[in-house]
Amino acid sequence: MRFSLVIPCYNEAANLPLLLERCKELAVRPGIEVVLVDNGSTDDTPRLLASLLPQYPGCRSIRVDVNRGYGFGIVSGLRAAEGDILGWTHADMQTDPQDALRGLALFEQHGDGIFVKGRRYGRPLADSAFTVAMSIFETVLLARPLWDINAQPTMFARGFFVSWLSPPDDFSLDLYAYHQARCSGLAVHRFPVRFGARAHGVSHWNVNWAAKWRFIRRTVEFSLTLRQRLRRPSP
């Protein structure tokens, strides 16, 4: 298996039919699979996956019985994936799963020893400003260039994933993976991806400034943990 794309789904029943249609062209290609992670959903997601997936060769699902966070769901999917190249994107259709094909082309061009992320455009001005501010903060704090940290897709070789130690269970996983790539000396390749509105439902975190503040607080706490690891002397 050449490439596995993991898509965490938490209460995304309304988006699943459209999501699977967009995954179809991706998953029918030889050597590509799509792993949808039912991340402890309490809506109709399990039933819909069971009824729809037989129509989509190359797509399969795993179930996390109790939601333990965005990062936990993704890592569960990565562990179940079979590809030599692994990646993830979101289920909300704000970015297209087929964007991963452009990321995969970068591996064909540069080899497997790289780290690939999308770079978002088309976002509201306030969201873009928030991302710039967080990017500057993380870059200064961790002394490594870290821009548009939560952009998707995120893609890397299996060997890089195997090297991870105690990845976070929450939204800090994007920062963790990007930071680990910088620390490992992987060449980072970015490509532009259009970022649109959710097809259905609302964000599970970006709903108001109170939710943003909770996200900021958790991210800052994890960033300080990463900085402490950097300062810890080697054994």
pLDDT in tens, 78-107: 999 999 999 999 999 899 999 999 999 999
| pLDDT-based confidence at residue 203 (cuts at 50, 70, 90) | low
Across 98-119, average pLDDT: 97
Specify burial of residue 138 (Cβ count, 10 A radius: 0-12, 13-18, 19+).
buried
The reported pTM is: 0.91
CATH number belonging to domain 3-231: 3.90.550.10
- Domain boundaries of the chain, sorted by first residue: 3-231
Measured from the Cβ of residue 136, the count of other Cβ atoms closer than 10 Å reads 12
Calculate the CA 99 to chain-centre distance. Answer: 12
